[in-house]
Structures are given as structure tokens and as C-alpha cells.
């Protein structure tokens, strides 16, 4: 796979693809690639002749004291995985390339960035929106691909693209899970084996609530209580940040459960935070 570090080279490659008439898919990542990322690459390959993956641990989405310094980085292994997946090129810029000294322009998607994860990470989504705005301008893909695990991130990026008229489609691909149901995440490697086992309670709780919904339960209080009690019983080490049944576009809590709404949960243990969600169907 072509690994492109600088902007001019990357633009030259995409320009060539464009002249060949190729559709271009972009998969923005922070590296430490797992099967969830590779499922995004697969989705991009199905819909585009050429696929670019960006690998960039974005400093602007980490607050002081978060895990920016220890976030896993393994570009050599990432490039091997991308090669095997059939990805055409990787954009691997340095922090200096993306955010040179004096960088001082930000994209902020309002209300959606202040709820749920944004309630305790007030600058996180500003960093995500800003880096994605840059990546969309740099690569100019037809479509960009994100994982449903970061549901709030996808809703925010869709809003940014709509509000600012970016000519980019934003697609969300289903959550990739390990055999025991745990949503794949580069941060799962922070978990001890015991915590990792407890963490499967998130998906079990969500799944039980989904089964209740399918059996006719329409009360969000009962559905969210199911998730919370599964976590309290099976994962007592984790604190619950929230369990919410939310409108899929506004992320506001709903009063009556209905198909298409999203049941979101976040838990934390010291600095480790885990997220998961299911869409009611």
C-alpha cells in the first residue's frame, strides 16, 4: 500500500485517481487498526474504485490528561493490514503537517457536541470535526466511512457536512464485535483480562433491552434500566456515565421507544471509557 506523508504527494495520487474517473472513498482512522477499521475499508472498497485510509492520532481531540501520549501507534503493522485488505493508499501525516504552529481555526458543531460524551469531554468533538473538515478538504473523497460504535461522532460529522455544504457523503458501518460481543476498539487493549470479561456486559445489556423492545416494551425507562442492571450485576468495576434511548438525529432522549432510535451506553473505570450502542429494529 502506498504510504503518503506529505500533502502534495497525497493530492497528486488522488488527482491521478480522479483523472481516471475513479470514485474515492476515505476511511479516517487514528491507526492501531482492528477488524472494525478493516470492515470500513471493505465497505469503502465496495462503493469506490480507490480507497484512502488516513492514519493520524489527532492531538486536538484529546484533552490534557487524556491518553494522547499512550494511544497505541503501530504504523508498520497498520500498513500491512491495509495492504492485505486491498486498500490503495494511506495518508500518514505528521502532527506538524496537520497542525503547524499557530494553527487557530476550529469547526464546532453546536448542541450535538455538548451532550453524552461531549458533556464530560467538552472539546473532544471540536477536535474531531476540525480534523475531519481538514481531511475532507485534503482528500476530497466522494464518501467517508465511520463506525457505528462512535455513533455520536457520526451524527456530528453528518451535521457538519450538511451545515457547511461539504460535497462528501458520510456513511456509517455496523459495529464490529469480538466473538463474546465486545465492540472492537483500539482502547480495549487498556483493559485487564478481568475488566475485558466484565466489559461484555455492555453488549449483553443492550441485547437484552433490544429483545425486550422486540417483545413489545416501549418504555425508555425500563429499556435503559435493563442495560444499567446488567452492567451493575456483571461489571461492578465500571461506573455508568449514561444509558440513553435517543433520537437518531438529535440525540435527545425519547419518551416512547420506536424503531430507528439508538440505545447508547458509556461506562468508565478510572481513565478507561467504553462505549457501545444498538439501533432499535
Compare residues 29 and 148 and give the one whose CB is closer to ligand PAF: 29
CB of 89 to ligand PAF, least distance (A): 16
Q: Residue 236: exposed, middle, or buried by beta-carbon count in 10 A (0-12, 13-18, 19+)? A: exposed
Q: Is 37 one of the catalytic residues?
A: yes
Compare residues 3 and 197 and give the one whose CB is closer to ligand PAF: 3
Give the Cα separation of 252 and 262 in Å (integer): 10
CB of 267 to ligand PAF, least distance (A): 19
List 37, 88, 120, 137, catalytic entry: 37
CB of 150 to ligand PAF, least distance (A): 5
Q: Is 171 helix (H, G, I), strand (E, B) or coil?
A: strand
CB of 258 to ligand PAF, least distance (A): 28
**Alpha carbon 195 to chain centroid, angstroms:** 22
> Can you read off the three cell numbers belonging to residue 186?
483500539
| Closest-CA residue to 59 (of 25, 89, 8, 103) | 103
CB of 230 to ligand PAF, least distance (A): 26
Compare residues 61 and 226 and give the one whose CB is closer to ligand PAF: 61
Strand ranges (DSSP E) for the chain? 2-4, 24-29, 50-55, 89-91, 143-147, 169-173, 239-246, 262-269, 272-279
157 Cβ neighbours under 8 A, 6+ residues apart: 128, 129, 132, 144, 146, 170
Compare residues 150 and 266 and give the one whose CB is closer to ligand PAF: 150
Binding residues (CB under 6 A) for ligand PAF: these are 28-30, 58, 61, 128, 131-132, 150, 153
Give the Cα separation of 99 and 241 in Å (integer): 31
Compare residues 131 and 210 and give the one whose CB is closer to ligand PAF: 131
**Catalytic site positions:** 37
Amino acid at each position: 500500500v502506498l504510504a503518503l506523508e506529505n500533502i502534495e504527494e497525497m493530492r497528486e495520487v488522488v488527482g491521478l485517481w480522479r483523472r481516471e474517473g475513479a470514485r474515492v472513498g476515505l476511511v479516517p482512522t487514528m491507526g492501531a487498526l482492528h477488524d472494525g477499521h478493516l470492515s470500513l475499508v471493505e465497505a469503502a472498497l465496495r462503493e469506490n474504485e480507490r480507497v484512502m485510509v488516513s492514519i493520524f492520532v489527532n492531538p486536538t481531540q484529546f484533552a490534557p490528561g487524556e491518553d494522547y501520549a499512550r494511544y497505541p501507534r503501530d504504523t508498520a503493522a497498520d500498513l500491512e493490514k491495509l495492504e492485505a485488505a486491498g486498500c490503495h493508499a494511506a495518508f500518514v501525516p505528521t502532527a506538524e503537517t496537520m497542525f503547524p504552529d499557530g494553527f487557530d481555526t476550529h469547526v464546532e458543531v453546536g448542541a450535538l457536541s455538548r451532550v453524552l460524551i461531549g458533556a464530560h469531554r467538552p472539546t473532544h468533538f471540536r477536535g474531531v470535526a476540525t480534523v475531519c473538515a481538514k481531511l475532507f478538504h485534503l482528500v476530497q473523497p466522494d464518501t467517508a466511512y465511520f463506525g457505528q460504535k462512535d455513533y455520536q461522532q457520526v451524527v456530528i460529522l453528518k451535521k457538519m457536512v450538511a451545515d457547511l455544504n461539504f460535497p462528501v457523503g458520510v456513511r456509517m458501518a455496523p459495529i464490529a464485535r469480538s466473538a463474546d460481543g465486545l465492540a472492537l476498539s483500539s482502547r480495549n487493549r487498556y483493559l485487564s483480562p478481568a475488566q475485558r470479561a466484565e466489559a461484555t456486559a455492555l453488549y449483553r445489556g443492550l441485547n437484552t433491552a433490544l429483545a425486550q423492545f422486540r417483545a413489545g416494551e416501549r418504555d425508555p425507562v425500563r429499556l435503559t434500566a435493563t442495560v444499567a442492571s446488567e452492567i451493575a450485576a456483571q461489571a461492578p468495576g465500571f461506573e455508568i456515565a449514561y444509558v440513553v434511548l435517543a433520537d437518531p438525529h438529535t440525540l435527545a432522549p425519547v419518551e416512547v421507544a420506536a424503531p430507528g432510535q439508538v440505545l447508547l451506553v458509556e461506562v468508565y473505570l478510572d481513565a478507561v471509557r467504553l462505549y457501545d450502542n444498538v439501533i432499535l429494529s
